[in-house]
Structure 1
Amino acid sequence: MTPTTGTTVHTIPRLEIRNLKRRFGDRMVVDDVSLSIMPGQVTCLLGPSGCGKSTTLRMIAGVDTQDAGEIYVDGNLICDTVFRVPPERRQIGLMFQDFALFPHMSVADNVAFGLKGPKVEKRARVETLLERVGLGWTIDVFPHQLSGGEQQRVALARALAPRPRIMLMDEPFSGLDNRLRDGIRDETLSVLKQEDTAVLLVTHEPDEAMRMADEIALMRDGRIVQQGAPYNIYNAPVDLEAVAFFSDINVIRGVSRGALTDTPFGQFLTPGFRDGQTVNIVIRPQHLKLDFDRAGKGPLPTERDGQAARGIVERARFMGNESLVEFRMDHDGSVLRATVPNVFLPQPGTALWLTLRRDRCFVFPAAQAHEAAMHP
């Protein structure tokens, strides 16, 4: 670590995993996964159920053993296929959906459970942590006297009590009421940052990953398919399935000829595709623009939005801060969905014109399309 003016610059990852593999029978559950996390950084392993996220977490924690690969903490090897530091000596904290508080112990005793040393020092550590999570008043009460959100914060204090260098979190907020979840997540993140803990969070919820993570590792079928800052993952997805995991999508299919693809919305540049290759032009519902029908005519084409295509409203639903409008398109009978801010509820049968934000479209080979990916 190199000190600079008022800050500490970390040059060695707090946690580094290299080429982890884990097979169960004939199925490769974790396939060549590598990532590194710096102190104070929150990295999210994001992906659908069964993609290998929790198995990766268990190998890092030491409760499962990899078939190949290495795990390092602060540059020191803690586990490969021969050498293995026991779980209790890895200085790794764990938080799960099940808070697993001991019901017969007070909050103070729960938080102090993993601590060693004189009683007065343990009590001081417990008091400090409970104050930090806003629960100093609970120190002598029992878990059943607390709400779910309060129990979650006690579980966080207990996990932080031994001063772990790394915190592994497996869907820790999924059992909380939606009204509590955002606040608890923000409080948890603040405490972990204060402790300079490296955090690996596992979730299948894109919104949670975007809210909490400094970096997202998008996982699918045992592999990390894309890794980067949330902004980059969202705005520069690696394939159609990556777009679809974060939001609903519309797919417009065309054929590339001479690096151009004709669509009802005008021509799209499709360099890098061979002549005759089918491509998918993908756009999120919020990036469709709507305009009124003027005696069968729509808006004039523009460089940014291209050519307009007409659709007939099939359904419009108010979603709170936006409206979702579904269209049956005149040109091929396909259904496109658009979201618009506030209340916009046109009647079924209304004709409207749609344009696509060209700078918000993604183009992928049609072979990458999977119908299930369109509805994550």
Structure 2
Amino acid sequence: MQAPRLEIRDIIRRYDGKPVVNNVSLTIQPGKVTCLLGPSGCGKSTTLRIIAGVEMQDSGSIYIDGNLICDTVVRVPPERRSVGLMFQDFALFPHLSVGENVAFGLKTSASEKRARAKEYLERVGLAGYIDDYPHQLSGGEQQRVALARALAPKPRLMLMDEPFSGLDNRLRDGIRDETLELLKEEGTSVLLVTHEPEEAMRMADEIALMRQGHIVQQGAPYNIYNAPADREAVAFFSDINTIRGEVKGALVATPFGQFLAPGYADGSRVEIVFRPQHVGIDFDRAGKGPSPSAKTGAPARGVVQRARFMGSESLVEFRMDHDGEKLRATVPNVFLPKPGTPMWLSIRRDRCFVFPAS
């Protein structure tokens, strides 16, 4: 059986006695892209620096292709780990030409360095810029040079720390897709640090969701999104709505009908969490709404507070009649009912998550 490209086991890193990376374990298979996703300050970049070898863990071990490269006794130096690095600021040397930047660190002759630099600049569409300098390039071009430089030594593992956040939105998607395609062609395993769920969903074969130094959930993007570990995991990927209730006979009674809550004891307080795109809207007909259904349960009435067009969808906010709480719904295209309009809302039962009340 093939060993994982990267395996980190029980990594702990403390600053002033406080764990910033707390018992983190992670596995990446050859040729796969894993995103370490989480809010700023949760320990993502520290984890990346430990893998790269520019920072030491307090305990735990790291393996590449089954070989120990670092624990609290053994420490393979960064330059011998076959690890490439890409950062947010590109980190190009301003006094070196584009070709010299790409060739920097290669242990070959000058002619071989230039040939390798030209090869990888061709891969990113910049061969004609080999003798130019970084300040002559756009941000997107500098990013491509940084990618070529990281790939030129043919690393087995690429570590990327928010590499696209310095680009404007117009460029970002195209550069991300080009980068991912090139990394896949090279067969390079990737660990990408990001705080943007959309970026992780777009690029990753697997997502490791990190919070306060822990990995709270790891899996394919579809599973992370549709089977979240807790309320905070749902909220990290999208806006959420929450209704609260008490369990009785594995059911929770709400104005939207009963919800299943298997595994919760009678009397438990729970939260039913759902996303705005899973809220259905129907018109009020002289105080009456649509009939209940197995798919959406019973409807509940609310009054429009605000409606905004967001580009590809409309966001409508309601104040619910039964408790005065606010609920949000999103609707494809343009749907802008006037404030004060009564409407009936229903919820997709198969898109609800039940968690213990916070």
Sort the TM-score into its range (normalised by shorter chain).
over 0.9
Cα-to-partner distance string for 1:208-242 (whole Å, 9 max, x where unaligned): 00001100000011111100000000000010000
Correspondent of 2:172 among 176, 181, 189: 181
How many correspondences in the alignment? 358
Partners in 1 of 2:230 and 2:107 — Cα distance? Answer: 49
Deviation at 1:105, TM superposition (A): 1.3
Tell me the equivalent position of 2:314.
323
TM-score in terms of structure 1 length: 0.94
Correspondent of 2:106 among 115, 118, 121: 115
Identity, % of aligned positions: 76
Residue 239 of structure 2 corresponds to residue 252 of structure 1: no
Partners in 2 of 1:116 and 1:81 — Cα distance? Answer: 29
Tell me the equivalent position of 2:76.
85
> 2:100·2:114 contact (CA, 8 Å) conserved in 1?
no
Q: Secondary structure at the match of 2:153?
A: coil
C-alpha root-mean-square deviation of aligned residues, in Å? Answer: 0.8
> 2:210·2:217 contact (CA, 8 Å) conserved in 1?
yes
Correspondent of 1:358 among 339, 349, 357: 349
In structure 1, stretches of 5+ residues that fail to align are 2-10, 368-376
Tell me the equivalent position of 1:264.
255
> 1:114·1:161 contact (CA, 8 Å) conserved in 2?
no
Tell me the equivalent position of 1:30.
21
Partners in 2 of 1:100 and 1:53 — Cα distance? Answer: 19
Tell me the equivalent position of 1:18.
9
Residue 189 of structure 2 corresponds to residue 198 of structure 1: yes
Cα-to-partner distance string for 1:69-113 (whole Å, 9 max, x where unaligned): 100111100000011011111111110001111112111111011
Deviation at 1:200, TM superposition (A): 0.4
Residue 235 of structure 2 corresponds to residue 230 of structure 1: no
Partners in 1 of 2:128 and 2:222 — Cα distance? Answer: 39
Cα-to-partner distance string for 1:154-201 (whole Å, 9 max, x where unaligned): 000011111111111000100100000000001111111111111100
Letter in 2 for 1:259: A
Partners in 2 of 1:213 and 1:57 — Cα distance? Answer: 16
Correspondent of 1:61 among 41, 52, 55: 52
Tell me the equivalent position of 1:133.
124
Cα-to-partner distance string for 1:127-151 (whole Å, 9 max, x where unaligned): 1111111111211111111110000
TM-score in terms of structure 2 length: 0.99
Deviation at 1:26, TM superposition (A): 2.7
Partners in 2 of 1:138 and 1:352 — Cα distance? Answer: 60
- Give structure 1 regions of 4+ aligned residues with deviation exceeding 3 angstroms: none
Correspondent of 2:64 among 73, 78, 84: 73
Deviation at 1:120, TM superposition (A): 2.1
> 1:252·1:280 contact (CA, 8 Å) conserved in 2?
yes
Letter in 2 for 1:357: R
